[in-house]
C-alpha cells in the first residue's frame, strides 16, 4: 500500500467530518445571533415581578425559542421540537346548538300542489305557533386520530317566545295522486322546520360570548344563554344520559334526547341576559349574566352544584357595552378562585380576579382594562400579572388593585418568519 494512498484515505475521512461539522455550524450559528433572540423592553420596578414568572415559546411546531421572564431578567434558549406534519383537520359541528321549534301543531295546515310541468307534488305543513327553545349539546370523542363517537343531548328548556310565528316544512312528493293530511304529516315528520314571520330572538347571540357548558366533578352542567325576551324559568341543568348521534339522527327536532336535570333555578332569571357558565377548580359554578335590576351590568353568581345554593354574587362591570366589553371570555383557574379576561373588539382586555375569601366570594382584583388580548393571567396577593398579545409581540404587566401599573414589559419577536408565533404562554406564581 502506497503511503500517499493511505494519506488520501485519512484526508478524505477528515474532509468528510470537516464538511459535516461546518454544515452544522453554519446551520446553528445564526440561532445564537441577536436577530434570532427575543428582545425585552421593560418599564417600572422589576422587583414587582417577584411572585410571578412568565413562561412561553416563540416559534412553530418544529423549532422554538423557549423563554422565561422573572425578576432576574429574560432567559431564552433555542428548542428543537419534532416536526408535526399538517393533517387535514376535522370538520366539527358546533358543540352547542339552539333550535326554536313550534311548540304545538294545533291549527296546522297541510297543502299539496302539483309542481309545474312534472308529476310530483309540492307538499307543505304550516303551523302558527309559539317558539320553544331546544338546546342541543354534542360531544365528540376522537381517538386514534380518526375513529370518533358522537354523543348528543337535546334538552327541552321550556322557554318560550311570546310572539307567534309561522313555521313550515316542505318537500317534494313523487306520487301520481294527491296525498292526504295524514300522509303529508308522516312524510314531513323528519324535515327541518323553517320559520317565516318575525324572527324570534335568537338565543346565545350576545355581544359577550362564553361557553354555556361547564364540567366539574365528573358532571356536565349547562345553562341556556338567553336574554330577557324569553319567557319561562331559567335553570342550570345537569346533563344526565345522552344519545348516540347515529341512533338519534332521524328523531324530530321537538323530541328531547337523553336526560337533563334542572338543577338550580336561577332567581330573577327572566330579568337577565345569561352569558354562560364556568366551573372553578373547587367545583363551584360561576354564572355570568347581565342584569337590569339590582345587579345591573356584567355580574357573576356563584353556585354550589351539590346543594344548589348561591354562594355569592359579584358585580363586575357596570355596563358591558359602555366599557367596550363585547368580545369573548377567557378563564384562568388558580387555587381558591379564578382570573378572567374579556377580549374587546378594540384589541384590549378587561381583566379581573375572583377568589373565595373568609367572608365568601370577593373580587380580589377589580376589573381593569389593559392593552392587548390577554393570553394568560395569574393573581397573587391582589396583584394581577397578565400577558397579552400585541402587534409587536407580547406585553407583560403586573397590576395592583388600584393605581398605576407596577411593571410593564414588551417582548418583541425577532423577524424570523411569519408562521412563527407565541404559544404555551403561562404566568406562574411562586
Partner 1 sequence: MNNKFLALFCREFSGRLRQIWLFPLAAALFQPALYWLAVREMYESARFEELYLSSAAPILLAVLFAALTGWMVWMTVQDFSNGSICTLLTLPGGRGRLWLAKLSAFCGALLLLWAGILAGIGLSYLVFSGRCAEIARITGQDYRLNAGLWLGLTRAALFRILCPMTLPEIVSSLLLFLTLPLTSAWAGWAFAGRHYVRGGLGSIAAACLWALLLRERLLYPEEIPLPYCLTLPMILAAVAADSLQTVRRADF
Residues in contact with partner 1 by CB under 8 A are 1, 5-6, 8-9, 12-13, 15-17, 19-20, 23-24, 26-28, 30-31, 33, 35-36, 60, 62-63, 80-85, 414-417
Largest CA distance in the chain: 109
Q: How far apart are CA 260 and CA 100, in angstroms?
A: 18
Shortest Å distance, C-beta 18 to partner 1 = 8
In 3D space, the residue among 150, 167, 171 whose CA is nearest the CA of residue 107 turns out to be 167
For the CB of residue 90, give the shortest distance to partner 1 in the complex, in Å.
18
Residue with Cβ nearer partner 1 (36 or 110): 36
Cβ-based nearer residue to partner 1, 20 or 142: 20
Q: Which is nearer to partner 1, 23 or 190 (CB)?
A: 23
When the beta carbons of 30 and 240 are compared against partner 1, the nearer one is: 30
Q: How far is the CB of 422 from partner 1 (least distance, A)?
A: 16
Q: How many residues would you count in the chain?
A: 430
Closer residue to partner 1 (CB): 6 or 75: 6
- Report the nearest approach of partner 1 to the CB of residue 82 (Å): 4
3-state DSSP call for residue 420? coil
Is 10 or 177 the residue whose CB approaches partner 1 more closely? Answer: 10
Quote the least distance from Cβ 24 to partner 1, whole Å. 7
Rounded least distance, CB 40 to partner 1, Å: 18
Give the count of beta carbons closer than 10 Å to the beta carbon of residue 274. Answer: 24
Q: Kindly tell me which of 64 and 363 has the beta carbon lying closer to partner 1.
A: 64
Give CA angle at 391 (388, 396), nearest 5°: 25
Distance CA 36, CA 134 (A): 53
Residues 188 and 176: beta-carbon distance below 8 Å = no
CB of 59 to partner 1, least distance (A): 9
Q: Output 63 or 112, the one with its CB closest to partner 1.
A: 63
Q: What is the dihedral of CA 132, 249, 138, 290, to 10 degrees?
A: -10
Least distance to partner 1 from the beta carbon of 371, Å?
A: 27
Contact (Cβ atoms closer than 8 angstroms) between residue 177 and residue 135: no
CB 134 within 8 A of CB 253: yes
Residue 415 CB, nearest approach to partner 1 (Å)? 7
Cell of 316: 363586575
Degrees (nearest 5) of the Cα angle 219, 223, 224? 145
Q: Is the Cβ–Cβ distance between 172 and 247 less than 8 Å?
A: no
Q: How far is the CB of 288 from partner 1 (least distance, A)?
A: 38
Which is closer to partner 1, CB of 252 or CB of 417? 417
Tell me whether residue 236 is exposed, middle or buried, using C-beta atoms within 10 angstroms of its C-beta: 0 to 12, 13 to 18, 19 or more. Answer: buried
Question: What residues contact 313, with CB distance under 8 A and at least 6 apart?
Answer: 295, 299, 300, 301, 302
**In 3-state terms, the chain is what percent helix, strand and coil (to 5)?**
10, 50, 35
Q: Which is nearer to partner 1, 356 or 413 (CB)?
A: 413
> 192 φ, ψ to 5°?
-70, 155
Nearest-CA neighbor of 349 among 322, 330, 365?
330
| Least distance from partner 1 to the Cβ atom of residue 394, Å | 19
How is 70-114 classified by DSSP, letter by letter? ETTEEEEEEEE-------PPP-PPPSEEEEEEES--TT-EEEEEE
Which of 229/416 has CB closer to partner 1?
A: 416
Name the grid cell of 264.
Answer: 338550580
Amino acid at each position: 500500500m502506497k503511503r500517499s494512498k493511505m494519506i488520501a484515505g485519512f484526508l478524505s475521512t477528515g474532509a468528510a467530518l470537516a464538511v459535516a461539522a461546518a454544515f452544522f455550524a453554519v446551520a446553528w450559528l445564526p440561532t445564537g445571533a441577536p436577530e434570532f433572540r427575543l428582545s425585552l423592553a421593560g418599564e417600572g420596578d422589576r422587583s414587582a415581578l417577584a411572585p410571578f414568572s412568565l413562561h412561553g415559546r416563540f416559534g412553530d411546531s418544529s423549532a422554538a425559542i423557549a423563554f422565561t421572564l422573572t425578576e432576574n431578567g429574560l432567559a431564552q434558549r433555542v428548542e428543537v421540537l419534532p416536526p408535526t406534519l399538517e393533517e387535514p383537520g376535522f370538520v366539527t359541528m358546533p358543540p352547542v346548538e339552539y333550535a326554536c321549534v313550534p311548540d304545538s301543531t294545533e291549527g296546522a295546515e297541510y297543502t299539496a300542489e302539483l309542481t309545474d310541468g312534472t308529476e310530483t307534488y309540492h307538499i307543505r305543513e304550516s303551523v302558527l305557533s309559539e317558539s320553544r327553545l331546544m338546546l342541543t349539546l354534542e360531544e365528540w370523542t376522537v381517538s386514534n386520530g380518526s375513529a370518533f363517537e358522537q354523543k348528543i343531548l337535546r334538552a327541552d328548556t321550556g322557554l318560550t317566545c311570546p310572539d307567534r310565528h309561522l313555521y313550515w316544512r316542505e318537500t317534494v312528493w313523487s306520487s301520481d295522486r294527491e296525498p292526504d293530511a295524514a300522509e303529508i304529516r308522516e312524510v314531513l315528520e323528519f324535515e327541518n322546520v323553517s320559520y317565516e314571520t318575525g324572527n324570534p330572538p335568537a338565543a346565545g347571540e350576545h355581544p359577550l360570548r362564553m361557553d354555556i357548558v361547564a364540567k366539574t366533578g365528573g358532571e356536565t352542567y349547562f345553562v341556556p344563554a338567553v336574554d330577557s325576551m324569553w319567557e319561562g324559568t331559567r335553570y342550570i341543568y345537569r346533563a344526565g344520559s345522552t344519545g348516540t348521534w347515529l341512533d338519534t339522527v332521524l328523531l324530530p327536532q321537538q323530541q328531547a334526547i337523553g336526560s337533563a336535570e334542572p338543577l338550580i333555578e336561577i332567581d330573577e332569571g327572566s330579568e337577565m341576559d345569561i352569558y354562560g357558565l364556568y366551573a372553578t377548580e373547587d367545583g363551584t359554578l360561576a354564572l355570568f349574566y347581565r342584569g337590569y335590576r339590582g345587579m345591573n351590568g356584567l355580574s357573576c353568581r356563584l353556585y354550589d352544584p351539590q346543594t344548589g345554593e348561591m354562594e355569592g354574587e359579584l358585580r363586575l362591570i357596570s355596563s358591558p357595552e359602555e366599557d367596550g366589553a363585547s368580545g369573548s371570555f377567557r378563564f384562568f383557574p388558580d387555587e381558591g378562585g379564578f382570573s378572567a379576561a374579556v377580549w374587546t373588539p378594540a384589541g384590549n382586555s378587561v381583566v379581573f380576579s375572583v377568589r373565595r375569601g373568609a367572608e365568601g366570594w370577593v373580587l380580589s382584583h377589580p376589573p381593569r382594562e389593559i392593552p392587548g388580548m390577554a393570553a394568560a393571567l395569574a393573581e397573587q396577593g391582589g396583584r394581577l400579572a397578565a400577558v397579552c398579545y400585541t402587534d409587536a409581540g407580547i406585553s407583560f404587566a403586573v397590576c395592583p388593585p388600584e393605581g398605576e401599573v407596577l411593571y410593564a414589559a414588551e417582548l418583541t419577536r425577532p423577524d424570523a418568519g411569519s408562521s412563527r408565533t407565541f404559544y404555551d404562554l403561562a404566568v406562574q406564581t411562586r
